[in-house]
Structure formats: structure tokens, C-alpha cells
Amino acid sequence: MKLYKIADLEHLSGIKAHTIRIWEKRYNLIEPIRTDTNYRRYNDEQVKKLLNVTTLLSKGYKISHLAELKENEINDKILEIQNNTHEDATYISYINELASSMINFDETLFNNTFNKAINKYGLFDCMLNIVYPLLYKIGVMWATDNAMPVQEHFASCIIKRKLASSVDMLEAPHRKDKKFLLFLPPEEYHEIVLLFTNYIIRAKGYETIYLGQNVPYDNIKEVVNITNANYLLTFFIAGHNENSVEELISNVKLSKSLTLLVSGNSDVVSKFNKTAHTEVLNSPADLMRFL
């Protein structure tokens, strides 16, 4: 069982460590486990409770009231928020529940929560307002040693499976004026954003050739020649620098009939010079406008 420091709880919940200590002492909200040297440690259940409390606080509940509730009563109020409100607190409740189920490797809860969010908002809004903030939270957890890599892999695999399934349910492409080749460059493995992009383009009726992660540049040239794709779309997310830009352009050798669409890490993509054959996409909204 993984135990968390109070600093970890602060990063996960957004509640200051000083405030958590006050809640412990004044309201007995959660009772930390003490190490032999008297340091506070917290288990998965305590993390889950704090995340749920954070959700309810965002909806206007008072900490003094929440501290008096039993666990099942808190869970009931979380469900009530998810079912009956359209405000940002609803997003927070889904984000926190997904984070909690990730920590506990609870695939059933993760799936159910993800499906409820999609049914409520649709895949596009769910990705923008719930999944992307969740991925940011996971990034914070990684940066502070709160999440094991396998926890991130667990959540990412489910999200990728959902996106791939959603693409399969779309109608066959029918618009012929644009054909997109989607790939991640060498040493790039963050595939969720590419899968979501594939869904957006296919939902608009355009054909895509999806190559996935860590694709050698010489393979891209071969596929372009075979498929006659007229748009390349890629992301630079992690482990890249301004040299990555020059490497891509020099290896792919963009022609007048081929347009490059690039997004990701702003420090990297800002090095691309916008021309008639290069577009920088700063958000899904930019992609929607381009389509």
C-alpha cells in the first residue's frame, strides 16, 4: 500500500497543507498514519476522501458540515452533483473520481465515471474539460513522485481504448479534399492527444492515416508517396527541443502539395516558421477552425 506525504495531498487536492492540518485537528476530517518519527502519512482511502471533499467545497458546502458526514453520505452528494448540475464543480467531481480510481487501479470505477462523463457532455467536451485536466493532474503527481508510472499507464490505456473505440463507431470518411497523415515523431510516446485529434478529424468526415507513436521520419516519406496524403499532423510533447523542428523539416522535405500541421510544447512549436505550408495549432479549437 502506497502512503502519501501531506505535501502530496496538497498537490493532489489543491488544499494547502496548513489547511489540511487544521481540518484534522478541528474537525477530525482524516486521521493520518504516523511514522516512527511522527511524520504524517495518508493511505489511498484518505486521499479519495479528501478529493471528494474538495469537490463538494467547490460546490459551496462548508467543511464543518462535510466533516460530520459518513463516507456513503459524501459519495451520495458527489453523485448528486454529477447528476444535477452543469457548473464547473461537475467537471471537478469527475476529475477527482477518475484520479481516485487511478490511484486504486479501480478499472470498473474509472470506466463507469468516464462513460458517465461522455454521456453527459459528449466526447469532445469530456476530453477538454475532464481528461486534459486529469492528465495535467497526473503530470503534477508524477513530478512530485505521487503516482507510480504504472498508475499513469493504467489510466492512459483506458483513455486510449475509449478513443479508439469512439473512432470505430464513426461513419466512413466521405470528404475527399483533405487527407491527413497523423504520427508522433521519434521518441514521442504521448499518444492520447494524437488519438483525440484523429477522432476530431474523422468526425468531420475526413480520411486519416494513423501511424501512432515513435515513427521514423523516413517511414513518413514512404507513406506520403503511397497514400498521397496532403496534410501531415504531429505533436511535440516531451523530450524535444528546437533541433527537433529542423530534423523534421529536413527529413520530411515538405513539398508544395503537402501542408504540415504541428502542435504541442510551445517552446518547440514556436520555432516553426509559419508559411503557406506550415500551420501551428495551439488548441483543439484551432484544429476545428482549420477543418
Q: Which tens digits make up the pLDDT trace of 16-73?
A: 999 999 999 999 998 888 888 888 888 878 888 888 888 888 778 899 998 888 888 8
Q: Where are the alpha helices (DSSP H) in 127-253?
A: 132-143, 149-168, 192-203, 217-227, 242-252
pTM of whole model > 0.85?
Answer: no
Q: Is 130 exposed, middle or buried (0-12, 13-18, 19+ CB in 10 A)?
A: buried
> CB neighbours (10 Å) of residue 221?
13
% pLDDT > 90, the chain: 29
Q: Pick the residue with more confidence: 262 or 145?
A: 262
pLDDT in the model for residue 273: 62
For 211, the domain range is 170-290
Whether the CB-CB separation of 186 and 217 falls below 8 Å is answered with yes
Query: Do residue 79 and residue 104 come from a single domain?
Result: yes
The predicted structure's pLDDT at residue 232: 92
Q: Pairing state of beta strands 206-212 and 278-280?
A: unpaired
* Together in a domain, 54 and 142: yes
CB atoms inside a 10 Å sphere around CB 274: 8
- Same domain membership, residue 161 and residue 49: yes
pLDDT per residue as tens digits for the range 215-232: 988 888 889 889 989 899
**Residue 107, domain member (yes or no):** yes
Average pLDDT of the chain? 84
How many structural domains does the chain have?
2
Q: Which of 165, 184, 204 is the last residue of a domain?
A: 165
Q: At residue 241, does pLDDT exceed 70?
A: no
Domain boundary among 146, 165, 184: 165
Q: What is the mean pLDDT of residues 79-107?
A: 79
Contacts of 180 (CB under 8 A, 6+ apart): 201, 206, 207, 208, 209, 229, 231, 232, 233, 261
Q: Is 62 helix (H, G, I), strand (E, B) or coil?
A: coil
The pLDDT, as a whole number, for residue 20 is 92
Across 132-139, average pLDDT: 81
Name the residue among 100, 102, 101 with its Cα closest to residue 50.
Answer: 100
Rounded Cα–Cα distance for residues 124 and 127 (Å): 5
What does the pLDDT average to over 187-211?
Answer: 93
What are phi and psi for residue 239, nearest 5 degrees?
70, 25
Q: Does the pLDDT value for residue 275 go beyond 60? A: no
Higher-pLDDT residue of 84, 202: 202
Give yes or no: residues 127 and 175 share one domain: no
